[in-house]
Amino acid sequence: MSLLSSLRSTVSSLLRRERVESDTDEELRAHVQNRADDLLRLGLDRAEAERRARIEFGGHEKFKEECHEALGTRFLYALLQDLRFGLRMLRKSPSFTTVAILTLALGIGVNTATFSLLNGLVLRNLPVPHAEQLVRFGAHDPGDDYAALSLPMFQEFSRSQKVFSGTFAWWGDIVLNVETEGTLSRADVWTVDGNFYPELGAWPQIGRLFSSEEENLSAAAASQVAVVSYGFWQSHYGGAPDVIGKMLKIEGIPFTIIGVTRNRFTGMSATLEMEISLPLPATHLLGGQPDLQKYLKRRDARWLEVAGRLKPGVTLEQARAQLDSLWPGIREEMAPPDKTSAELGSFHELQLKVESGAKGGSLLRHRFEKPLYTVLAISALVLLVACVNLASLMLARAASRSHELSVRVALGAGRVRLASQMLTESLALSAAGSIAGCVFAYWASRALAVFILRQIYIVPAELNLSPDWRILGFTASATIVTGVLFGLAPAWRATHEDANAALQQSARTLGGGTGRLGKGLIMVQVALSVVLLASAGLFVRSLEKLHAVDPGFHTRAALDVSLFPKPGGYKNLALVDYYRELTDRVSHLPGVVSAGMMHTRFGNVLEWTERARIAGTEAQGQEADFEMAMPGLFETAGISLLRGRSFNWQDDEHTPSVAIVSKNFAEKLFPEGDAIGQHIDVLTIRKWQNLQIIGVVSNASLYDIRKQPPPTVYLPATQYGDYMGWSHVLVQTTFPLATIAGPLRQTVESLGHEYVTSIKTVRQNIDRSLLQERVTAMLSGFFGALTLLLAAIGLYGLMAYTVAQRTREIGIRLALGAARLRVLKMILREALALVLAGVLMGLPGALAASRLIAHMLFGLSPNDPATLAFVTSALLVVGTLAAYLPARRAMKVDPMVALRWE
Partner 1 sequence: MTSQAQILPGTLDLLILKAVSLGPLHGYGVLLRIEQISHGALLIEQGALYPALFRLVRQGLLKASWGTSDNNRRAKFYELTSTGRKRLRQEADGWNRLAAAIASALDTQPEEI
- Rounded to 10 deg, the angle between the 94-118 and 469-494 helix axes is 150
Identity at 137, one-letter amino acid code: F
557, 592 in Cβ contact below 8 A? no
Please report whether residue 67 would count as binding partner 1 according to CB under 8 A: yes
- Burial (CB < 10 A; 0-12, 13-18, 19+), residue 656, is exposed
Complex with partner 1: residue 22 or 466, whichever CB lies closer: 22
Complex with partner 1: residue 31 or 348, whichever CB lies closer: 31
Complex with partner 1: residue 67 or 788, whichever CB lies closer: 67
Please report whether residue 8 would count as binding partner 1 according to CB under 8 A: no
Q: Contact with partner 1 (CB under 8 A): which of 69, 349, 581, 674? A: 69
The nearest distance, CB 18 to partner 1, in angstroms, is 16
105, 436 in Cβ contact below 8 A? yes
Interface with partner 1 in residues 626-655 (CB under 8 A): none
Distance in angstroms (rounded) separating the CA atoms of residues 262 and 183: 24
Complex with partner 1: residue 2 or 620, whichever CB lies closer: 2
Complex with partner 1: residue 19 or 339, whichever CB lies closer: 19
Interface with partner 1 in residues 342-381 (CB under 8 A): none
The nearest distance, CB 62 to partner 1, in angstroms, is 7
- Burial (CB < 10 A; 0-12, 13-18, 19+), residue 818, is middle
The stretch near partner 1 (CB under 8 A) out of 4-12, 394-402, 598-606, 791-799 is 4-12
Interface with partner 1 in residues 17-56 (CB under 8 A): 23-24, 26-28, 30-31, 33-35, 37, 56
- The DSSP string of 286-324 is HTT-S-HHHHHT-SS---BEEEEEEPTT--HHHHHHHHH
The nearest distance, CB 74 to partner 1, in angstroms, is 11
The stretch near partner 1 (CB under 8 A) out of 68-76, 89-97, 127-135, 426-434 is 68-76
Neighbours of 380 (CB within 10 A): 17
* Residue of 474, 387, 480, 433 lying closest to 112 (CA atoms): 474
Q: How many CA atoms lie within 13 A of 106 on its CB side?
A: 21
310, 133 in Cβ contact below 8 A? yes
Q: Contact with partner 1 (CB under 8 A): which of 62, 159, 556, 687? A: 62
If DSSP states are collapsed to H, E and C, what string results for 869-900? Answer: HHHHHHHHHHHHHHHHHHHHHHHCCCHHHHHH
Q: How many residues bind partner 1 (CB under 8 A)?
A: 26
Q: Contact with partner 1 (CB under 8 A): which of 66, 213, 349, 749? A: 66
Distance in angstroms (rounded) separating the CA atoms of residues 711 and 707: 11
Distance in angstroms (rounded) separating the CA atoms of residues 835 and 400: 24
Complex with partner 1: residue 17 or 446, whichever CB lies closer: 17
The nearest distance, CB 5 to partner 1, in angstroms, is 6
The nearest distance, CB 410 to partner 1, in angstroms, is 23
What are the phi and psi torsion angles at 170 (to 5°)?
-155, 165
The nearest distance, CB 390 to partner 1, in angstroms, is 40
Distance in angstroms (rounded) separating the CA atoms of residues 744 and 561: 8
The nearest distance, CB 68 to partner 1, in angstroms, is 9
Complex with partner 1: residue 5 or 218, whichever CB lies closer: 5
Residue 588 three-state SS: coil
Q: Contact with partner 1 (CB under 8 A): which of 14, 51, 52, 63? A: 63
Q: Contact with partner 1 (CB under 8 A): which of 7, 11, 70, 785? A: 70
Complex with partner 1: residue 64 or 403, whichever CB lies closer: 64
177, 146 in Cβ contact below 8 A? no
- The DSSP string of 669-690 is H-SSS--TT-EEEESS-TT--S
The nearest distance, CB 36 to partner 1, in angstroms, is 10
Q: Contact with partner 1 (CB under 8 A): which of 42, 47, 58, 340? A: 58
Please report whether residue 3 would count as binding partner 1 according to CB under 8 A: no
Complex with partner 1: residue 63 or 570, whichever CB lies closer: 63
b vs e for 745-770, b when ≥16 Cβ sit within 10 Å of the residue's Cβ?
eebbeeeebbbbeebbbbbbbbbbbb
Complex with partner 1: residue 33 or 98, whichever CB lies closer: 33
248, 189 in Cβ contact below 8 A? no
Complex with partner 1: residue 68 or 806, whichever CB lies closer: 68
Distance in angstroms (rounded) separating the CA atoms of residues 739 and 741: 6
Complex with partner 1: residue 17 or 585, whichever CB lies closer: 17
Q: Please, what is the Cα angle at 605 between 599 and 609, to 5 degrees?
A: 60
Q: Contact with partner 1 (CB under 8 A): which of 9, 318, 609, 678? A: 9
Complex with partner 1: residue 64 or 353, whichever CB lies closer: 64
Applying CB under 8 A, the residues found at the interface with partner 1 are: 1, 5-6, 9, 23-24, 26-28, 30-31, 33-35, 37, 56-58, 62-63, 66-67, 69-72
